[in-house]
Amino acid sequence: MGESLTVAVASGKGGTGKTSLATSLARVASAQYERVAYLDCDVEEPNGHIFLPATLERKEIIHVEVPEIDQEKCDYCGYCAQICAFNALAILPGAPLVFANLCHSCAGCWTLCPQKAIRVGKRGIGVVETGHLGHMEFWQGRLDPGVATSPPLIDALQKRGLGPGINILDAPPGTSCPVVRTVERADFVLLVTEPTPFGRHDLELAAAMVRQMGLPAGVVINRSSGDDGIIEDFCRQSGLPLLGRLPWERRVAEGYAAGLCAVEVMPRWRPLFLDWLQRIREIVAGRGGEGSAGNCGAER
Amino acid sequence: MLQVGADSGFAVLPVRAGATAGEAGAGRMKIAVCSQGSTPGAMIDSRFGRCQYLLVYDSEQKNWQTLPAPGCNSGGGAGIETARFLVGQGVQVLLAGHVGPNAMRVLDAAGVQVYTGIEGTVENSLRLYQANRLTRLTAPNAAPHHGLAARV
């Protein structure tokens, strides 16, 4: 199988079972497909390694660009601080201050400095690590404590880890920048939810996000108690396909607490995951040329 | 009371190295107080970066000036933004509740003296300062993003 398929597992809400589902999907897929890569894009709290205990083989420090002010050339005009949308600069007479942890590397200051007094410096924000679990590729990013901007690290992680075959992206919770950056390279977004008002509320946010980004998506209900009307209604109204559900199962929760993902505890669920993967392939293939137009053109 | 727009340009400020506490220091001194309201009778704002107003007392003119603080709606770096603004206004002394590390770095670099322990109204806080009852702050006394939490 030469083609590649990238599936992001996301959910508006934390604690819905994203990681349990994404790691299960990666395990099941790796038994079936030639190359499978799991990428833990929740770089602030990566925990996929608990369920996929890969041996880490390589580690790379990731840097972002930040301004460095050449005091010989700076005339303290303050223009860079004026145009900085993130207040990362304060220019006082004799003391140009850079707050690198607020910098978003937009390049505005060093491009527009009238005195050409700003050099491009480097700041480490975290690491990308990789290894194997059997023949499955395992990738994760770990953001350094105190770093506020995770999208550049997610970017670096995906640039290194995405390849041919099946790529499973484990997204951070929520719908903010790190999630957008995680899903924007995906061919399909698998939205995990639980059949509760909280689950539905956050699913609505996540569904609005993928719709706005023009990404094909589908829903999986986790911890289903049999009565999933609250989510089924939303799927009907919004036209999101409901791919399936995983029943509430105490043993899965116990396994989770012991570091086992869902399919390790419930091997009979494997066909469900394979079935979802197959349906995702069909949906993505069905969109054909239309799919490429849907990606917002947000090339980075 | 004079209203000054938040976007008044950056003024190059000669740092007053000799400025001392209280009214004893020679010459004109501008003292800023973090406030929730626009008048000297208003309650202080214990936050610095995201305070609503900065009320500035001119020791020579003996009058107050109301400055809407620029950082109160800032997306990030509010302390830096407010401190930068304050320095641009030629203020030498700041009376505040909590000041975070980023703001402190800017205020330090500009030689602005920071005093903490303000309470009650803005006027009252100025009196405390004049009576030498406030504490000189040389290191930040709040964590970053302190002002985003509920007002203390």
Residue B106 distance to chain A (closest CA, Å): 7
pLDDT of residue A175 exceeding 60, the answer is yes
Q: Give the residue-averaged pLDDT of A291-298.
A: 36
- Sorted by sequence, the CB contacts under 8 Å of residue A198 that are 6+ apart come out as A13
pLDDT tens digits, residue range A227-243? 999 999 999 999 999 99
Beta strand extents in A2-78 (DSSP E only): 4-10, 36-40, 55-69
Beta bridge partners of A129: A59, A140
Q: Give the residue-averaged pLDDT of A113-123.
A: 97
Subunit contact A87:B80, Cβ cutoff 8 A: yes
Subunit contact B110:A92, Cβ cutoff 8 A: yes
Question: Can you tell me the distance from the alpha carbon of A87 to that of B77, in angstroms, rounded to the nearest whole number?
Answer: 5
Residue A297 φ then ψ, to 5°: 60, 20
Question: Can you tell me the distance from the alpha carbon of A157 to that of A80, in angstroms, rounded to the nearest whole number?
Answer: 30
Question: Can you tell me the distance from the alpha carbon of B123 to that of B128, in angstroms, rounded to the nearest whole number?
Answer: 9
pLDDT tens digits, residue range B134-149? 999 999 998 887 877 6
Tell me how crowded residue B110 is: count the other CB atoms within 10 A of its CB. 22
Subunit contact A92:B80, Cβ cutoff 8 A: no
Q: What angle do CA A53, A59, A64 make, to 5 degrees?
A: 125
Structure-model confidence comparison of residues A297 and A242, the more confident one: A242
pLDDT (0 to 100) of residue B17: 41
CA distances from B148 to A176, A187, A274, B80 (A): 18, 37, 45, 14
Nearest to B77 among A76, A91, A102 (CB): A102
Single out the residue of B130, B147, B134 nearest to residue B62, CA to CA: B130
Beta bridge partners of A189: A8, A217
Mutation for testing the B interface, residue in A87, A101, A104, A106 having most B CBs under 10 Å: A87
AA letter at A227: D
pLDDT of residue B23 exceeding 70, the answer is no
Residue A279's Cβ-side half-sphere holds a number of Cα atoms within 13 Å equal to 17
Residue A20 φ then ψ, to 5°: -60, -40
Residue B121's Cβ-side half-sphere holds a number of Cα atoms within 13 Å equal to 8
Q: Report pTM.
A: 0.81
pLDDT of residue A288 exceeding 70, the answer is no
Residue A295: band (very low, low, confident or very high) from pLDDT cuts 50, 70, 90: very low
Residue A102's Cβ-side half-sphere holds a number of Cα atoms within 13 Å equal to 24
Question: Can you tell me the distance from the alpha carbon of A171 to that of A154, in angstroms, rounded to the nearest whole number?
Answer: 10
Do the strands A188-193 and A165-170 form a parallel or antiparallel pair, or are they unpaired? unpaired
Q: What is the dihedral of CA B98, B102, B104, B105, to 10 degrees?
A: 170
Q: Give the residue-averaged pLDDT of A65-69.
A: 97
A252 burial level (CB within 10 Å; 0-12, 13-18, 19+): buried
pLDDT tens digits, residue range A231-279? 999 999 999 999 999 999 999 999 999 999 999 999 999 999 999 999 9
* Chain A residues whose beta carbon lies within 8 Å of the beta carbon of residue B15: 93
Please give the share of chain A, as a percent, with pLDDT higher than 70: 95
pLDDT (0 to 100) of residue B152: 43
Unique residue bearing structure tokens 């990681």: A19
Nearest to A97 among B14, B75, B109 (CB): B109
Quote the ipTM score. 0.75
Subunit contact B87:A92, Cβ cutoff 8 A: yes
pLDDT (0 to 100) of residue A148: 86
Beta bridge partners of A172: none
Subunit contact B102:A93, Cβ cutoff 8 A: no
pLDDT of residue A139 exceeding 80, the answer is yes
Residue B5: band (very low, low, confident or very high) from pLDDT cuts 50, 70, 90: very low
Residue B27: band (very low, low, confident or very high) from pLDDT cuts 50, 70, 90: confident
Q: Give the residue-averaged pLDDT of A195-199.
A: 94
